[in-house]
Amino acid sequence: MELEDGAQGTFLETTFEWKGDRWAYQIKNENRAGEEPKVWRYKDFRSHAPYAQKRALITMMMRKVAKMASDKQTLAESAMQKLEEFRRLRYPIGLLRGVCNFMGATTGDGTWIGIRNAI
């Protein structure tokens, strides 16, 4: 194991920046939408893992994204980046939208419906 220097504006699993009069923060993600992935984290949808396990993985990641987002705009951006990672790994859009529905229903945050519609 080797210790790496952290990137500017990153601490542990959080990326943050000062925006005028407040801090904006979100889950660290080096894989940006529209770019080639730099880090591989999850199994391809075609792996032999049970469907329920795959759905639970996405749900857990979306909960983590929501917990680590400073505001609704940051939540939307961060969730879309993370969902794009799952799309690259061939997770069905219906599954991703279903998780967004679940998140909207359980959190009461309508931002999830916008995220679902943008997928």
Q: What is the token pair recorded at 78?
A: 């961060």
Per-residue pLDDT tens for 43-71? 888 999 999 999 999 999 999 999 888 78
Q: Is residue 19 domain-resident?
A: no
In a domain, 95, yes or no: yes
Number of domains in the chain: 1
Instruction: Report yes or no on 29 lying in a domain.
Output: no
- Can you give the residue range of the structural domain that contains 59? 48-119
Of the ranges 17-26, 30-39, 44-53, the best mean pLDDT one: 44-53
The reply to whether the predicted model has a pTM over 0.85 is no
Q: Is 79 exposed, middle or buried (0-12, 13-18, 19+ CB in 10 A)?
A: buried
Rounded-to-integer distance, Cα 72 and Cα 15, Å: 16
Q: Is residue 14 part of a domain?
A: no
In a domain, 78, yes or no: yes
Q: Is 29 helix (H, G, I), strand (E, B) or coil?
A: coil
Sheet of 22-27: strand order equals 10-11, 14-19, 22-27
Q: Position of tokens 């391809």?
A: 44
